[in-house]
């Protein structure tokens, strides 16, 4: 969507080790004066988003960025301008952030609701374009896919999940297309309900793969749409929506379907798709850069590869092995 009518902006989500996020208040004399936003600014000719962000944060906050990765690109239309924002996660810097332009700064907990954050800001409002990344930050970076089998047994499956929870996994996809009784088996629904109780007690969420009946989705925390189901409508109001994608076209369909995130792959060779040629990190990065929503890397991923995934624009990683790793 880049054009002469679109303002290109790099915006930084500056995150401390304790998870706190830095917001700045817009100075007097600028549009949306007094509203709170993510620090950053316009790209100069020839600059990459990360180069622009480093320059802007030096000028605006007096810090020198040492570790940052691009994340999600989002276009927002204001009354005065259309802005294409490249959101970047900043996790390393030198110096203490200060309002070099006289602006107020505040560290906030991004896991709170918008209303709670704004109340903590003394009733100040968050800039509209700041709202999507605030919601995206609440999506965990590890997305574990669980596939129960009759051979595993109910107790064995739930123990598998419990061990993953103990290792910090907080987002799951429940999918069992090969279940002996079929994906609509009432026994499978009973197992899902037990998993939900276990997950909710630990503050985790479970999405149901769209291979399973739609009434199940409303009992869970949302649905994960297969690429063939990206046109499904009438989703439950509370529904968190994930989507499986393999191409730019499917990523666009996922965005239009209202998905909160997408899973893209396979990135690397994986035993679960032995006949599929992996896309590789470079192609993944190109697709993720234009997706307009957080993208998980799928295929050949392991917990040790999270930093590499982030460097290529991934929100995080998805796969079966995250439950296996947790169990091991």
Over residues 210-229, the pLDDT tens digits come to 999 999 999 999 999 999 99
Q: Could you state, in order of their start, the residue ranges of all structural domains in the chain?
A: 6-136, 142-327
Over residues 249-296, the pLDDT tens digits come to 999 999 999 999 999 999 998 877 777 899 999 999 999 999 999 999
Q: What pLDDT, on the 0 to 100 scale, is given for residue 324?
A: 63
- Calculate what percentage of the chain has a pLDDT beyond 70: 97
Crossing angle (nearest 10°) for helices 186-201 and 154-166: 30
Written as one string, the DSSP assignment of 131-145 is HHHHHHTTS-SEEEE
By CB atoms closer than 10 A (0-12, 13-18, 19+), residue 268 is: middle
Please, are residues 98 and 62 in contact by the beta-carbon 8 Å criterion? yes
Q: What six digits make up the tokens of 233? A: 């409508």
3-state secondary structure at position 155: helix
Q: What pLDDT, on the 0 to 100 scale, is given for residue 237?
A: 76
Residue corresponding to tokens 């924002």: 85
Q: What pLDDT, on the 0 to 100 scale, is given for residue 131?
A: 96
Looking at the domain 6-136, which fold is it? Nucleoside Triphosphate Pyrophosphohydrolase (3.90.79)
Over residues 143-196, the pLDDT tens digits come to 999 999 888 889 999 999 999 999 999 999 999 998 989 999 999 999 999 999
Q: What pLDDT, on the 0 to 100 scale, is given for residue 30?
A: 85
Q: What pLDDT, on the 0 to 100 scale, is given for residue 232?
A: 79
Please, are residues 314 and 284 in contact by the beta-carbon 8 Å criterion? yes
Q: What pLDDT, on the 0 to 100 scale, is given for residue 3?
A: 44
For residue 153, the tally of other CB atoms under 10 A from its CB is 11
Q: What pLDDT, on the 0 to 100 scale, is given for residue 328?
A: 34
Looking at the domain 142-327, which fold is it? TIM Barrel (3.20.20)
| Residue ranges in the chain assigned as alpha helix (H) | 49-61, 114-120, 131-136, 154-166, 186-201, 214-219, 248-256, 280-289, 306-311, 321-327
Q: Is the pLDDT of residue 78 over 90?
A: no
Over residues 228-246, the pLDDT tens digits come to 999 877 787 778 999 999 9
Over residues 21-77, the pLDDT tens digits come to 999 999 888 888 999 999 999 999 999 999 999 999 999 999 999 999 999 999 988
Residue 295 phi, psi dihedral angles, 5° rounding? -125, 125
- Quote the CA–CA distance of 86 and 109 in Å, as a whole number: 21
Q: What pLDDT, on the 0 to 100 scale, is given for residue 315?
A: 98
Q: What pLDDT, on the 0 to 100 scale, is given for residue 194?
A: 97
């Amino acid at each position: 969507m880049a054009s002469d009518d679109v303002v290109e902006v790099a915006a930084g989500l500056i995150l401390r080790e304790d998870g706190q996020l830095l917001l700045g208040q817009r100075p007097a004399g600028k549009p949306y004066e007094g509203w709170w936003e993510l620090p950053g600014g316009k790209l100069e000719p020839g600059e990459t988003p990360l180069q622009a962000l480093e320059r802007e944060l030096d000028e605006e906050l007096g810090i020198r960025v040492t570790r940052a990765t691009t994340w999600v690109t989002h276009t927002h239309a204001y009354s005065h301008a259309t802005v294409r924002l490249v959101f970047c996660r900043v996790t390393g810097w030198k110096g203490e952030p200060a309002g070099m332009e006289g602006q107020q700064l505040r560290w906030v907990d991004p896991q709170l609701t918008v209303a709670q954050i704004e109340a903590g800001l003394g009733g100040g409002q968050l800039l509209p374009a700041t709202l999507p990344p605030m919601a995206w930050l609440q999506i965990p970076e590890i997305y574990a896919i669980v596939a129960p089998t009759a051979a595993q047994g109910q107790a064995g499956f739930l123990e598998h999940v419990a061990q993953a929870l103990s290792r910090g996994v907080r987002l799951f996809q429940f999918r069992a297309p090969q279940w002996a009784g079929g994906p609509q088996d009432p026994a499978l629904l009973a197992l899902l309900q037990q998993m939900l109780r276990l997950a909710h007690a630990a503050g985790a969420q479970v999405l149901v793969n769209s291979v399973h009946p739609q009434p199940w989705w409303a009992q869970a925390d949302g649905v994960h749409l297969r690429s063939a189901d990206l046109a499904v409508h009438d989703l439950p109001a509370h529904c968190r929506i994930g989507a499986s994608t393999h191409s730019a076209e499917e990523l666009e369909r996922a965005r239009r379907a209202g998905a909160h995130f997408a899973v893209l792959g396979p990135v690397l060779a994986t035993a679960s798709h032995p006949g599929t040629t992996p896309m590789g990190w470079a192609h993944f990065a190109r697709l993720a850069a234009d997706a307009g929503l957080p993208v998980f890397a799928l295929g050949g991923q392991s917990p040790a590869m999270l930093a590499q995934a982030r460097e290529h624009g991934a929100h995080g990683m998805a796969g079966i092995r995250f439950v296996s790793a947790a169990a091991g």
